[in-house]
Structure 1
Amino acid sequence: MDLETAPLRAAVVIVSDRSARGERADAVGPVLVERLRGAAFTVEDAAIVSDGVDTVGAAIGSAVAAGARLVVTSGGTGLGPRDHTPEGTAPLLEQQIPGIPEALRRAGAERVPTAVLSRGLAGIAAQPGTGGALVVNLPGSPGGASDGLELVLALAPHVIAQLDGGDH
């Protein structure tokens, strides 16, 4: 990221019924937020929402409307009956970027074979006044989310520069 310009805004959305109800502390959000801050993004504390198409879509939409150029979600990408993060994300994406979730699954599978079961998406959400915002669904596990963010941080500055008209 070009540190001569104003820091880009990012947002973290944690998707967890138990954390949203206060039954379990969120262990993933604080880690992702600190990593994003360390990468020179401006980011508030993670938003925690319950599983569901509408809750996920509303949280991502709110983050994009507030100016986040990068939105990462964690949780709700598996095969469980309440895992609907991809379904809440998909309607917001004008363009999908299949290579990002493919790379996340491939890297995760090197450590945990079940990583290939993630249904997470990545793509570009429209954002007035900009070229758009990068949205990436990360796994819900602390290790998977942290490892996945490493890949996202390697790509996000280039993606956002391209969205803003930069060269390939």
Structure 2
Amino acid sequence: MQPDRSSPRHRATVITVSDRSAAGTRADTSGPLAAQRLTDAGYAVTTAIVPDGAAPVRAALAAAVSDGARVVITTGGTGVGPRDETPEGTAPLLTRELPGIPEALRRVGAEHTASAVLSRGLAGIVDSAHGGALVVNLPGSLAAVDQGLDALLPLVDHVLSQLDGGDH
């Protein structure tokens, strides 16, 4: 059954974290994939591209949550490179971490590529006036985004229901 797109379940924001994409020297491919997957799942999606670094990530996440996003997915900046600081930009905003989500994402990714275990991505809740938002850091590769959303999407509605006071 296809979701009813005339009334999106919730607002979502996809933030691509990449120096090259932010500078316009490389096309963003992972952000549009994540946005399409969320749209197909019935979410109203906005997108942003920011350069690597903790400060731009933190600012983009805060803006997305302030603007009413209930789901925020970042792509990129989760590795061990010198500018990979997406987790450092995310951590200060999280009021509650959900460590099982990144563990599951690494496990699923490792079934396809050994380097998936190097992702330092986080997941958790950012409190807001809109009932709180689920924030998840995904690696920037197309495969990691696709596989990550396969694992994540079945959980999102339950998390948001819980944030809204739903029963377990």
Give the shorter-chain TM-score range.
Answer: over 0.9
Distance 1:42 1:108, change over 3 A: same
Per-residue Cα deviation, 1:20-77 (whole angstroms, up to 9, x for no partner): 0000000111111111011000112x20000011000000110000100000000000
Distance 1:48 1:4, change over 3 A: closer
Distance 1:81 1:142, change over 3 A: same
Alpha-carbon distance in structure 1 between the residues aligned to 2:130 and 2:32: 29
Structure 2 residue ranges without an equivalent (≥5)? none
Per the normalisation by structure 2, the TM-score is 0.95
Counterpart of 1:55 in structure 2 is 56
1:148 aligns with 2:133: no
Alignment of 1:93-132 (within 5 A): 93-130=94-131, 132=132
Alpha-carbon distance in structure 1 between the residues aligned to 2:57 and 2:44: 21
Per the normalisation by structure 1, the TM-score is 0.95
Per-residue Cα deviation, 1:119-146 (whole angstroms, up to 9, x for no partner): 000000011141x100000011110011
Q: In structure 1, what residue type is equivalent to 2:140?
A: G
Alpha-carbon distance in structure 2 between the residues aligned to 1:150 and 1:10: 16
Query: Secondary structure of the equivalent of 2:84?
Result: coil
Q: In structure 2, what residue type is equivalent to 1:18?
A: R
Q: In structure 2, what residue type is equivalent to 1:23?
A: T
1:78 aligns with 2:70: no
State, as a whole percentage, how many aligned pairs show the same letter: 58
Deviation at 1:6, TM superposition (A): 5.3
Instruction: Indicate the RMSD between aligned Cα atoms, in angstroms.
Output: 1.6
Query: Secondary structure of the equivalent of 1:13?
Result: strand
Counterpart of 1:24 in structure 2 is 26
Q: In structure 2, what residue type is equivalent to 1:88?
A: G
1:12 aligns with 2:7: no
Structure 1 residue ranges without an equivalent (≥5)? none
Counterpart of 1:163 in structure 2 is 163
Alpha-carbon distance in structure 1 between the residues aligned to 2:40 and 2:49: 21
